Structure 1
Amino acid sequence: MVLAMAALASGCTPSGTQAHPAPGQQRLQAPSARALDSYATRLRTSYEQRAAAAGRWGLEQVPLPPPPPPAVKPRITPRPGFEVTGQEEEDLPPVFTTVPTTHKVVFLTIDDGAEKDPAFLRMMNELRIPYTAFLTNYLVESDYGYFRAMQASGVTLNNHTLHHPYLPGLSYEEQRHEICGMQDVMEKEFGKRPKAFRPPYGNYNRDTLRAAKSCGIAYVPIWNEEVFADRWEFRESDWRLRPGDIVLTHFRGPAEWNGTMVDAMRRFLDRVTAEGFAVARLEDYL
């Protein structure tokens, strides 16, 4: 009996002839030892590379890898209290600060484009940290190439208006010009019209969302935490990270901050890693 089972497991009948699966069935085959060994080697090499990069950039721990993207993306709805009149009736883009997920992940977003620090690009590439950029044209037009390099590394570039105005102080047509005008720039310079838009300062009204929708915007992510080179700021009173939180920082440097973008990223990564969070790609959840 044992010999028969062993023979069947090997694909042979007890008489030594080759067993054939019944019509409509496939023979189950275990992964080869070589394939498993290759996969383990790739994992080990990836970790060693990230560990070496973490050491070079002065991190306290190796950043955690994010889980695979969800097979079914969560439904994004406005954060309670962040809706506008006519939100549901007009199917306006949702304003949200956290993505619904059970994964212990946060999403890093970076605004405007004033600082163009090559060390920041090297750091994020070497550590393989995903992030999303929201660009303002008057701040990026002096060096579109910097952001093309960012895009080539897998970063999604999104809309943060032409001139970074306080949008609720503008008319509908003026807001539409700021948002749609930046859509035109994004298509011309980066080859794509974004689906996500962040209003400057996180300020918006109904006209903002109506204008954004008319320009092809589907999502308006703002943020739940903000990180600087020397501190964190929290929207929630308990000062803690939650799964799915969107974290904001800016393209800023020593001229305006007490530190560099590298310093800000070190502060960001040390905290999220210490609390057991990985950094995931926002677009994988939208």
Structure 2
Amino acid sequence: MRAVVQNDKNRSWWRRRGTTVRASVAVLTAAALASGCARADDEAPPPLKAPPARALDGYAAKLRADHAALVAAAKRWGLQRTPLRPPPPPAKKPAITTRAGFEVDRHEEQGLPPVFTTVPTRQKVVFLTIDDGAEKDPAFLRMMTDLRIPYTAFLSDYLVSENYGYFRRMQAGGVGLNNHTLNHPYLPDLSYTEQKHEICGMQDVVERRYGKRPLLFRPPYGNYNSDTLRAARDCGIEYVPLWNEEVFVDRWDYREWDRDIHPGDIVLSHFRGEDDWDGRMPDMIRVFLDKVTAKGYAVARLEDYL
């Protein structure tokens, strides 16, 4: 009997001991939670544990590798400087309005798309746009892919129909394919019906070949009238971007008196080669990038700001 009583006493002692231990653990846990696991003397929290630190190191390593690849690509393509990376697209898009002096009669009253040469932004970015589609240089696609330079294309069907696949590869790289009419006519000489055929017809081509109707339209030569903008609106166009500068393989042309680039400027070039220029499209891109990079500008994607 004494053995049984002793065992009962032992069990009773361990039950009381366990309760005390559990209570102490609970008190300590509550204190830690209440203090945010801070130390009593307000010392800094312990350093990051291994998994988050490894993740940060991995991210930093990826950034370094990306930059090294860009530096190497810039050297490979003969650039004077490594192109600057653009900032993230704005969460709130800027309000786009028609540039003063570029309006037509009753522009706003008719709900016509805005005509503009610059996107209102304080960021040091410019937008590269390339027109027509005559030259289809594979080296240009490789260069823009290697350098990760965004741009926007405005296409005319009578030129791109020779090789729709070339521009499909361009689109696969994130390039927006937009409307530059079917046949590149001087639109103000045409009636409203004829202009609508040129614009809506190109909308149909882009949708059929590339899966999406454009929202951007650039009139050939930058010339338009009220009928042009009415036809564009009726074909689903929302914006009519023109340009503030034009770049060639051997020079820049400027719209502004100061002959300089500005934040948000739209830059025009063309799909041209040695038949039209004293050089090829990669030569034009070098002229373009060397200037904008030297002036501290990055190249952003126009559609990201609209």
> What's the TM-score once normalised by structure 1's chain length?
0.91
Structure showing the higher helix proportion among its residues: 2
Partners in 2 of 1:245 and 1:150 — Cα distance? 23
After TM superposition, where is structure 1 displaced by more than 4 Å over at least 4 residues in a row? none
3-state DSSP of counterpart to 2:269: strand
Q: What amino acid maps onto 1:132 in structure 2? A: T
Query: 5 Å matches for 1:133-212?
Result: 133-212=153-232
Q: 1:102 aligns with which of 122, 125, 138?
A: 122
Partners in 2 of 1:236 and 1:208 — Cα distance? 25
Q: 2:69 aligns with which of 37, 49, 58?
A: 49
Partners in 2 of 1:106 and 1:191 — Cα distance? 27
* Deviation sequence 1:59-96 (CA, Å, 0-9, x none): 00000000000010000000110011011101100000
Per the TM alignment, residue 20 of structure 1 is displaced from its structure 2 partner at its CA by: 6.6
Partners in 1 of 2:230 and 2:26 — Cα distance? 70
Tell me whether 1:278 sits opposite 2:298 in the alignment.
Answer: yes
- Check the 8 A contact 1:136/1:159 in 2, yes or no: yes
- For the aligned residue pairs, the C-alpha RMSD in angstroms reads 1.9
Per the TM alignment, residue 139 of structure 1 is displaced from its structure 2 partner at its CA by: 0.4
Q: 1:125 aligns with which of 145, 149, 158?
A: 145
Q: Which runs of 5+ in 2 are unaligned?
A: 1-24, 37-46
Partners in 2 of 1:108 and 1:186 — Cα distance? 20
- Check the 8 A contact 1:227/1:264 in 2, yes or no: yes
* Deviation sequence 1:176-199 (CA, Å, 0-9, x none): 000000000001101110000000
Question: When the two structures are aligned, how many residues end up with a matched partner?
Answer: 269
- Check the 8 A contact 1:162/1:179 in 2, yes or no: yes
Q: Which runs of 5+ in 1 are unaligned?
A: 1-11, 23-28
* Deviation sequence 1:102-128 (CA, Å, 0-9, x none): 110000000000000000000000000
> What's the TM-score once normalised by structure 2's chain length?
0.85
Paired residue for 1:19?
33
3-state DSSP of counterpart to 1:120: helix
* Deviation sequence 1:189-221 (CA, Å, 0-9, x none): 011100000000000001000000000000000
Tell me whether 1:266 sits opposite 2:286 in the alignment.
Answer: yes
Q: What amino acid maps onto 1:76 in structure 2? A: I
Q: 1:63 aligns with which of 83, 107, 114?
A: 83
